[in-house]
Structure 1
Amino acid sequence: MTILQAGVPKSGNYWLYSIIKNILASAGEEHHSYIQQHPIQEQAKNWQLSFAGQSSMDFLSIEERCYCRLSGVFREEITDIDSYIKQSSQVWTHSNLNPLAKSILPKFNKIIYIIRDPRDVAISYSKFAFTEHKLKNGSPHYEQNPETYLENRIEEMTRQWVQHVGVYLKYQTELNIYPIFYERLLHSFDSELEGLLAYLEIELSPDAIAQIKHNVAFKTMKQQSPKHLRKGSSGQWQTKLSDRQKQKVEQVAAPMLDLLGYPPTQQDLPNLSKDIDRAAWESAIAFSHRSPLDQVQRFYGFLNSQRTISAKANLAKDWSLGKIKRLVKA
């Protein structure tokens, strides 16, 4: 069995990976790994990455081409995707469902997509952006601290979240994608695990399920990766975000939040209806697109943001170079 798990960064991807890994091991599924057989593994196993065991995980980046990646440290083009998938039992991706991805996903036996409230995702990512590993190996962001990162980027992070989540769910039926909510895993783990096992067509004994619950409990995983896991909670946005920040999210993501059953204030669990058609997903995605007025407001907000002159100059340079690269590729 070959499984692809996808999701926006900081949506509980590491937790989901651990759950699936434990399920496959408990079921006696034979394990295969492309990266574990790669020559880079001898060096990679000694690298200080984001979390324990990351160097042995198959991470796929699907852009204009496919790449095997180890965080921001190593990237190599995959020229034979069929061979890569054949050598991998469990693959992790953060990639958008772009045209190339649409042709590759059907090659996997199972596809699982994890969803987390974008307001909590933004808070978590703003903290992650200042971890030692991310500062050393990630692209420079020129922000001063997690608070200013969140203030300056929450709208854009939410916009990216809508478009990432929306496109995957738009093709849910066509690609047989199994969506799972981070919040429901937190608060209704037993029933969510039961649904996941049914999708994977795997039956486990009560003892095996109990062992999985122990292995993937937050306390257990926190001991293994203390720098990567922070709180393992949901709904922190209700007290962490300002009214202005909450409004920014609503202005971009209100229709998508509504489709997913995310509450505007109270902490209820999200719920995905089976009756949502493709037009509804397309409408929610379109709602997040920038209008000409949004572009002007974004530029005005950038000029008046709490960034140093040097940071603004560097960001402007990076955005300009990025735009040139995109135009050249087009």
Structure 2
Amino acid sequence: MAQAGMREFLKKALAEKEEISPSDRLFFHNGEMYPAMICCPQTLKILDTFETRSDDVILVGYPKTGTNWVGQILVELEAASGKYDDEERKNRSMWQRESELSLFPYLEFGDPGKFERMKQLPSRRVIKTHLAPQRLPKSIFQKKAKILVLFRNPKDTAVSYLHFANSMNLFPTQKNWDEFFSDFISGKVPWGLYFDHIIEWNKYLDDKNVMFITYEEIKENAALGMKKMADFFDFSVSEQEIQSIVEKTSFKAMKDRSSETYGEMGKNLFRKGIVGDWKNIFSEDQNEEMDRKFKESVARTKLGMILKYDVYCKC
């Protein structure tokens, strides 16, 4: 049912985007830009009414850092840990169907009525968002829900973001790489400047309810990454179950199922899934500008060091 819900939401979003004039494809809320195709101003206005549960599984990641991939990993880990019998699986499916949660479980996506429907979802809920910490609903921190924060090297993030934005017509006009790079590095894109997210999340390094992980870390050793996630969220899973999830959530496996899971948008969500694709696109000047921006803003922060910029973003 969750897959069917995603397909329906994306199908509706793709149909409605044709009705949105180019000048209205983006809107601002509290000084930050959002895409009208998937976000609604009224939803953002009441975001703080979202009622978090202490056992919610929260995944946070800037756009195109791998949240769809890691989100599916968390769904699989939760299901394996729950070890539901047939009756429990039937009940969970019924709740999902009756809640009409026909959208990605991203907090800021969809209509404002979603928060009432989300109350009907059984625990544990896996909830995703692209929001920076200062924009998250206060109840997430008040309820001490555990938060997994995902990062990816900024150069690959920028390249992936461009392809997705153009494929979905998120901007009033199609952008070439040079135009998009200029917007990305100055924060003139939905969800703002990536480096600002790093700066804000760096303040939570000592929060025991927040765990940081990188896209590259999981790519290098998916099983180890999943074990860390399972330990953090107290998922009880076996080595065999971990290996099964590694296979089910490989890039190839998810790309092969993308039309079934995400409908027409599937081809836009799974492009290459590799580390280092930026080397094929960045100019020498752009490399230097990104390196300088990183050095000036976040290189000396603890989180900046965790990202291993010199490993993944140097030629």
Which TM-score band (shorter chain)? 0.5 to 0.7
The separation in 2 between residues aligned to 1:103 and 1:94, in whole angstroms, is: 17
Partner of 2:35: none
Q: Indicate yes or no: 2:77 matched with 1:23.
A: yes
**Match for 2:212 among 179, 182, 191?**
179
Partner of 1:37: 98
User: Are the counterparts in 2 of residues 110 and 177 from structure 1 also a CA contact under 8 Å?
Assistant: yes
Structure 1 residue identity aligned to 2:181? E
Q: CA deviation at 1:98?
A: 1.8
Partner of 2:62: 8
Q: Given the superposition, is the C-alpha separation of residues 35 and 171 from structure 1 closer, same or farther in structure 2, using an over 3 Å criterion?
A: farther
Using the size of structure 2 for normalisation, the TM-score is 0.65
Structure 2 residue identity aligned to 1:13? T
Structure 1 residue identity aligned to 2:238? S
Q: CA deviation at 1:164?
A: 1.4
**Match for 1:142 among 150, 158, 173?**
173
The separation in 2 between residues aligned to 1:251 and 1:194, in whole angstroms, is: 35
User: Are the counterparts in 1 of residues 61 and 149 from structure 2 also a CA contact under 8 Å?
Assistant: yes
Partner of 1:156: 186
Q: Given the superposition, is the C-alpha separation of residues 236 and 181 from structure 1 closer, same or farther in structure 2, using an over 3 Å criterion?
A: same
Q: Indicate yes or no: 2:137 matched with 1:104.
A: no
Residues 32-70 of structure 1 show CA distances to partners (whole Å, capped at 9, x for unaligned) of 69875344x5xx5xxxxxxxxxx3x42212xxxxxxx2x
Question: How many corresponding residue pairs?
Answer: 238
Partner of 2:253: 220
**Match for 2:127 among 50, 73, 91?**
91
Q: Given the superposition, is the C-alpha separation of residues 209 and 86 from structure 1 closer, same or farther in structure 2, using an over 3 Å criterion?
A: closer
Q: CA deviation at 1:93?
A: 0.7
**Match for 2:106 among 59, 65, 81?**
59
Structure 2 residue identity aligned to 1:9? P
The separation in 2 between residues aligned to 1:119 and 1:268, in whole angstroms, is: 7
**Match for 2:226 among 193, 196, 199?**
193
User: Are the counterparts in 1 of residues 96 and 121 from structure 2 also a CA contact under 8 Å?
Assistant: no
Q: Given the superposition, is the C-alpha separation of residues 110 and 144 from structure 1 closer, same or farther in structure 2, using an over 3 Å criterion?
A: closer
Using the size of structure 1 for normalisation, the TM-score is 0.62
Which stretch of the first structure deviates more once superposed, 233-242 or 14-23? 233-242
Q: CA deviation at 1:196?
A: 1.4
Give aligned-pair identity as a percent.
21
Structure 2 residue identity aligned to 1:37? E
Q: Given the superposition, is the C-alpha separation of residues 84 and 187 from structure 1 closer, same or farther in structure 2, using an over 3 Å criterion?
A: same
User: Pairwise CA RMSD of aligned residues?
Assistant: 3.1
Q: Indicate yes or no: 2:286 matched with 1:256.
A: no
Q: CA deviation at 1:123?
A: 0.5
Q: CA deviation at 1:168?
A: 2.2
Q: Given the superposition, is the C-alpha separation of residues 241 and 248 from structure 1 closer, same or farther in structure 2, using an over 3 Å criterion?
A: same
The separation in 1 between residues aligned to 2:75 and 2:151, in whole angstroms, is: 19
Look at both structures and tell me which one has the larger radius of gyration over its CA atoms. Answer: 1
Residues 110-143 of structure 1 show CA distances to partners (whole Å, capped at 9, x for unaligned) of 2111010111111100000111xx22xx4x3424
Structure 1 residue identity aligned to 2:182? N
Query: Secondary structure at 1:173's aligned position in 2?
Result: coil
The separation in 2 between residues aligned to 1:82 and 1:129, in whole angstroms, is: 28
Q: CA deviation at 1:247?
A: 2.3
Q: Given the superposition, is the C-alpha separation of residues 35 and 240 from structure 1 closer, same or farther in structure 2, using an over 3 Å criterion?
A: farther
Q: Given the superposition, is the C-alpha separation of residues 88 and 28 from structure 1 closer, same or farther in structure 2, using an over 3 Å criterion?
A: closer
User: Are the counterparts in 2 of residues 183 and 234 from structure 1 also a CA contact under 8 Å?
Assistant: yes
Q: Given the superposition, is the C-alpha separation of residues 100 and 194 from structure 1 closer, same or farther in structure 2, using an over 3 Å criterion?
A: closer
User: Are the counterparts in 2 of residues 85 and 108 from structure 1 also a CA contact under 8 Å?
Assistant: no
Structure 1 residue identity aligned to 2:148? I
Query: Secondary structure at 2:128's aligned position in 1?
Result: strand
Q: CA deviation at 1:251?
A: 3.1
What runs of 5+ residues in structure 2 fail to find an aligned partner?
1-54, 259-265
Q: CA deviation at 1:84?
A: 7.1
Structure 2 residue identity aligned to 1:154? F
User: Are the counterparts in 2 of residues 197 and 203 from structure 1 also a CA contact under 8 Å?
Assistant: yes
